[in-house]
Structure 1
Amino acid sequence: MAPKKLSIAPVEDEETLSPYEQRLYIELDRILYQNELTPRAVTDFWAGDRDGVVAQLRQMKDRVTRSIVLTHYVELDDTLTRLILRHLFGKNRRNTAQRRTVQTMLDKTYLIQKLDLVAGFRTVSKQTKSNVQALNQLRNTLAHRYLGAPPRHERLYKSKYDVYTEKGLSKLRDDMWEVSSELEPEVVKIAMDLVQAQKEWNRRKRKGPQKKTAKPSDARL
């Protein structure tokens, strides 16, 4: 049951956000709250009902975990599709009949099959294959069963890491980063360069304009 009253969390570092950034922040906070994807939604509505709080937090954890795993899957599926299309059509992105036909075929192709296609025209490491296969197995479990969190042995990534824990999700995230770094190193490099440039810009902005200090030799003149 959705909370009756919307509670908006305060915007952190409010003075550093532009009006547009604050609107985006608040919009995202509302979406998470209304869909019970933030613990605050549970504690607001179920305050005083310990059993209700526990049950709803467990349900939320299940939904969030599934969302994270499925997002990794969708992003990887899109990456493999791009690699195949780039191999067949180069940098030409014209929406030709041939491209549309191949795209339709790829839309009906499973993740592991796409990985096999990519491995046919470029080197794919054993580690990446292992990571993708483990993600695919985990995704199949979480996408086709919805009776709460599955038994522990069915939610293990690589038969070892429980993705319903912070440690397990951290391992999955790190492995997917390694997969992306191998499959699309140029894209990852551009992304990291942009992040670094943005951080440097923010650092200079916070530091403000530099005041020129007089040199000792200038002071004696």
Structure 2
Amino acid sequence: MSRATLQTRLDQGLAALGQTLAEDVRARLVDYVELLARWNAAYNLTAVRDPQDMVTRHLLDSLAIAPFVTGTTLADVGSGAGLPGLVLAIIAPERAVTLIDTNGKKSRFQREAVRSLRLDNVEVIHARVEQVEGTFDCVTARAFASLGDMLTWGGHLLAANGRWLAMKGRRPDDELTALPDGFRLEREHEVTVPGLDAERRLLVLARSDAP
């Protein structure tokens, strides 16, 4: 797969999202996909094998929620191959991003991505989310667990006025009716990912006493 082909797909997706990124940022996003594809061949980090599909299913899927990210600190829970955390860190180097995952090989890949992509704003934590300390303005989670489990295990990470961005497919009505005490659904957005024919929904959760 040529780098130019990946760059073209990324640029077309950004245009469809109405987003503009500097040339060096776009190049770094392609660097990430190429690194992921190389590691994936040996370590099975993602079920997506084709680098072009990685641009759509990983880069553009992550970039689609970028307009909803707020604050100066972000924790990506169950980050896996660094999604969406690494992508969000690449496009916003001023934001401090913490990647959290229990899988050793995925944490090793995250560290290699941080090193090779020179991401000074990213910290990798290999641990269960329950064990992680600190609070963050924004918490992201992509296909990590049910909403109830996410918030039970990691709700302590959300700052008083923070926002939890849960990336889902179909609207999980049963999960929304079983949110843990202290949390509420603030709003939700239907998200369109260019080139992906699948339903995507972003649920924005907040503390019940947050303004």
Q: Which has the higher contact order (CA 8 A, sep 6+)?
A: 2
Query: Greater share of strand residues, 1 or 2?
Result: 2
TM-score normalised to structure 2 length: 0.27
- Which of the pair has more CA radius of gyration? 1
TM-score normalised to structure 1 length: 0.26
